Amino acid sequence: MPRFDDADLAVEGGVDPRSPRDQRGSTASGLPIPNDAGNTIEIPATRSSISDAAQFMHNLSLSPSMKDRRGSRNSFGTSLPIPRSPRMSRLHPSAPDVSRDILASQVQDMSKEKVAAAKNMAFAFDIDGVLCHGLEPIEEAKEALRMLNGDNELGIKIPYILLTNGGGKTEAARCQQLSEILENPISTDQFIQSHTPMQALSEYYETVLVIGGEGLQVRAAAENYGFKNVVHPKDILAWDPTVSPWRTFTEEERAQARPRDFSKVKFDAILVFADSRDYATDMQLIIDLLLADNGRFLTRSEDPVANRIPIYFSQGDLVFPTNHKGPTRLTLGAFRIGVEAIYKSLTGVDLERVVYGKPERATYTYADEVIRAWMEQIHNENTLPKNIYMVGDNPASDIIGGNMYGWNTCLVRTGVFQGGDNDPNNPASFGVFPTVLQAVQAAVRKELGEDFKFKWNPKVNPVTHGDGASAVE
């Protein structure tokens, strides 16, 4: 099947050949120079930007001529841009229950110490393996969230956010789905998925290839972040189905795609937001662009480093727990290692790339800002609680990241971790718990007292209730 031209595809205008990075200045390597003047800040990278491929590969020989060729780079890889402050939705999380809220505020007036402690703690929950397995809830999670949403002796909201390496759709779509599954309202203002902080990159790149997720939902996510020209692999397949030799492209998919003459488009960056649903096509297109001359399809650069466009992955987990009965399943980190290995075997050069998500420091720094903003929404106080508890199932992601960032860490047994007393390499600082519910209860008891009651009593007498008094009659 022939490739299409823009004229065939009724594309009007065309893309400004000058991308934002071209317009704002760049180094000889063509990568953008971040500055702190805009709406983003740069967080020093925790991990090396050089691919892990060598560590995982066997018998892939290096071409001697290519071996030591690694171009000098600017801040790409050494720091990760994140938004200066989170974008808040204008939606109120839930309708107030006036009589209950009045009683709760009377109870809270009598329990000032506990109230202060409740506002000085927060939780960051991993999702897969802690709150859910895919679309199936972990039952104990519902009770934990209900308690934090006010079903406790003070009727107070104890702040929490969701911090997941999952992704692939808009924050709004995922929060709606989670609210239904977990039977608790989840606001986008308390939610961070792997690619949420990557919205900062929209200030650096205009035309991006976005990979991963179901259907075309990542396009909506990337457009919400402000990327101007978001290209999905299906757009490219619709232009030229021969790019992916084994792929059958349906008419239905073609109808949803936005093809144009991609030989005339200059890509600024590749963003892998979520798990690929079509490894063959996605890997082929990524490799095509990495080897191309400055991000132009159908070209090959003579120098695989100097003219390569940057690639970002939203997270690096190798495996994740699902409702599959056997061992954990492969996820984005495994896909990334595949890309790195192919790139290295074709060029002899280690791929330089950036990986967001837990355990990267940038993700935790962003989480602090989201917790602070959420505190303002629920308690009208722009403060960051001192005692933050990360509850996760993956020692190599949730726990190491939380430990490095100075949070308390709780490891649960409902996901990746299936070991003994604690993880030997990345032990959870606050302990190991059967489920998220026990972790939350232990943390709340530590901060608010061993006798703290995990149930709101609608018949509570605010006069007899208070610091030093019996909690529930």
Interface residues with ligand G3P (CB under 6 A) are 126-129, 164-166, 275, 317, 320, 331-332
- The option from ligand G3P, Mg ion, none interacting with 343 (CB < 5 to 8 A, set by class) reads none
Name the 3-class secondary structure at 317. coil
Is residue 393 within the footprint of Mg ion (CB under 5 A)? Answer: yes
Q: Which residues make Cβ contacts (< 8 Å) with residue 329, sequence separation at least 6?
A: 319, 320, 321, 322
Report, in Å, the least distance between residue 422 CB and ligand G3P.
19
Is residue 206 within the footprint of Mg ion (CB under 5 A)? Answer: no
Report, in Å, the least distance between residue 376 CB and ligand G3P.
25
Using CB under 5 A, which of 45, 107, 115, 128 touches Mg ion? 128
Spatial separation of the C-alpha atoms in residues 124 and 119, rounded to whole Å = 14
The contact mask relative to Mg ion for 82-121 (x = CB under 5 A, - = no) is ----------------------------------------
- The option from ligand G3P, Mg ion, none interacting with 317 (CB < 5 to 8 A, set by class) reads ligand G3P
How many residues bind Mg ion (CB under 5 A)? The answer is 6
Report, in Å, the least distance between residue 273 CB and ligand G3P.
11
- The option from ligand G3P, Mg ion, none interacting with 77 (CB < 5 to 8 A, set by class) reads none
Q: Decide whether 342 or 412 has the Cβ nearer to Mg ion.
A: 412
- The option from ligand G3P, Mg ion, none interacting with 166 (CB < 5 to 8 A, set by class) reads ligand G3P
Helices (H), 273-360: 279-291, 332-347
Is residue 261 within the footprint of Mg ion (CB under 5 A)? Answer: no
Report, in Å, the least distance between residue 133 CB and ligand G3P.
10
Comparing CA positions, the residue from 145, 58, 103, 149 lying closest to residue 345 is 58
Comparing CA positions, the residue from 109, 104, 82, 90 lying closest to residue 152 is 104
Using CB under 5 A, which of 86, 93, 129, 259 touches Mg ion? 129
Spatial separation of the C-alpha atoms in residues 380 and 371, rounded to whole Å = 12
Sign of the Cα pseudo-torsion (286, 291, 294, 299, in order): negative
- The option from Mg ion, ligand G3P, none interacting with 331 (CB < 5 to 8 A, set by class) reads ligand G3P
Q: At what angle do helices 279-291 and 332-347 cross, to 10 degrees?
A: 40
Report, in Å, the least distance between residue 69 CB and ligand G3P.
33
Distances 371 to 45, 376, 392, 443, 447 between C-alpha atoms, Å: 21, 9, 17, 17, 18
Name the 3-class secondary structure at 349. coil
- The option from ligand G3P, Mg ion, none interacting with 164 (CB < 5 to 8 A, set by class) reads ligand G3P
Distances 51 to 56, 205, 303, 311, 378 between C-alpha atoms, Å: 10, 22, 18, 11, 42
Q: Decide whether 125 or 456 has the Cβ nearer to ligand G3P.
A: 125
